Structure 1
Amino acid sequence: MADLSIDFCGIKSPNPFWLASAPPTDKAYNVVRAFEAGWGGVVWKTLGEDPPAVNVSSRYSAHYGKNREVIGFNNIELITDRSLEINLREITAVKKAWPDRAMIVSLMLPCEEAPWAAILPLVEATGADGIELNFGCPHGMPERGMGAAVGQVPEYVQMVTAWCKKHTRLPVIVKLTPNITDVRAPARAALAGGADAVSLINTVNSITHLDLDRMVAFPAVGNASTHGGYCGSAVKPIALNMVAEIARDPVTAGLPISGIGGIGNWRDAAEFIALGAGSVQVCTAAMLHGFRIVEEMKDGLARWMDEKGYADIAAFSRKAVPNTTDWKYLDMNFQTIAHIDQDKCIGCGKCFVACEDTSHQAIAQRIMENGARRYEVIRDECVGCNLCEITCPVEACIAMVPQETGKPYMNWTQDPRNPRAESRADAAVGQTTAVIEPA
Structure 2
Amino acid sequence: MTIHTPLNEDNARPAGAGANDAASNDHVASYKADLSINFAGIRSPNPFWLASAPPTDKAYNVVRAFEAGWGGVVWKTLGEDPAAVNVSSRYSAHYGPNGEVSGFNNIELITDRSLEINLREITQVKKDWPDRALIVSLMVPCEEEAWKTILPQVEATGCDGIELNFGCPHGMPERGMGAAVGQVPEYVEKVTRWCKTYSSLPVIVKLTPNITDVRLPAQAALRGGADAVSLINTINSITHLDLDRMVAHPVVGGRSTHGGYCGSAVKPIALNMVSEIARTPETANLPISGIGGISNWEDAAEFIALGAGSVQVCTAAMLHGFRIVEEMKDGLGRWMDSKGYQKIDDFTRAAIPNTTDWKHLDMNYQVIARIDQDKCIGCGRCYIACEDTSHQAIMHLAKDNGTARYEVKDADCVGCNLCEITCPVDNCITMEEQDTGKPYMNWMEDPRNPHRAA
- Residue equivalent to 1:77: 108
The TM-score with structure 2 as length reference comes to: 0.93
> Does 2:402 align with 1:387?
no
SS of structure 2 residue aligned to 1:365:
strand
Instruction: Figure out how many residues of one structure are paired with residues of the other and give that number.
Output: 423
Partner amino acid for 1:220?
V
1:4 to 35, 56, 61: 35
SS of structure 1 residue aligned to 2:170:
coil
- Show structure 1 runs of 5+ residues with no match: 424-439
- Residue equivalent to 1:436: none
Displacement of 1:57 = 0.1
Partner amino acid for 1:196?
D
* Superposed CA offset, 1:258-281 (max 9, x none): 000000000000000000000000
- Residue equivalent to 1:319: 350
Displacement of 1:67 = 2.5
Q: Distance in 2 between matches of 1:27 and 1:14?
A: 21
SS of structure 1 residue aligned to 2:98:
helix
Q: Distance in 2 between matches of 1:66 and 1:155?
A: 43
- Residue equivalent to 1:397: 428
Displacement of 1:68 = 1.4
Displacement of 1:288 = 0.2
Q: Distance in 2 between matches of 1:186 and 1:420?
A: 31
2:394 to 357, 363, 384: 363
> Does 2:407 align with 1:376?
yes
- Residue equivalent to 2:279: 248
Q: Distance in 1 between matches of 2:55 and 2:404?
A: 51
> Does 2:180 align with 1:149?
yes
> Does 2:47 align with 1:16?
yes
- Residue equivalent to 2:219: 188
Displacement of 1:129 = 0.1
The TM-score with structure 1 as length reference comes to: 0.96
Runs of 4+ in 1 over 6 A off after TM superposition: none
2:238 to 184, 201, 207: 207
User: Matches of residues 106-121 of structure 1 in structure 2 within 5 Å?
Assistant: 106-121=137-152
Q: Distance in 2 between matches of 1:335 and 1:297?
A: 36
SS of structure 1 residue aligned to 2:105:
strand
SS of structure 1 residue aligned to 2:236:
strand
1:337 to 368, 376, 383: 368
Q: Distance in 2 between matches of 1:113 and 1:420?
A: 49
- Show structure 2 runs of 5+ residues with no match: 1-31
- Residue equivalent to 1:62: 93
2:67 to 36, 48, 64: 36
1:94 to 125, 130, 142: 125
2:155 to 113, 116, 124: 124
Displacement of 1:147 = 0.1
* Superposed CA offset, 1:48-97 (max 9, x none): 00000000000000000123100000000000000000000000000000
Displacement of 1:372 = 1.1
Displacement of 1:320 = 0.3
Partner amino acid for 2:361?
L
User: Matches of residues 211-290 of structure 1 in structure 2 within 5 Å?
Assistant: 211-290=242-321
SS of structure 2 residue aligned to 1:66:
coil
Note the aligned Cα RMSD (angstroms).
Answer: 0.4
- Residue equivalent to 2:17: none
SS of structure 2 residue aligned to 1:67:
coil
Q: Distance in 1 between matches of 2:83 and 2:385?
A: 53
Q: Distance in 2 between matches of 1:333 and 1:97?
A: 59
> Does 2:328 align with 1:297?
yes
Partner amino acid for 2:326?
E
Q: Distance in 2 between matches of 1:343 and 1:123?
A: 63
SS of structure 2 residue aligned to 1:68:
coil
2:383 to 352, 373, 390: 352
Partner amino acid for 1:207?
I
- Residue equivalent to 1:46: 77
* Superposed CA offset, 1:105-134 (max 9, x none): 000000100010111111111010000000
2:164 to 117, 121, 133: 133
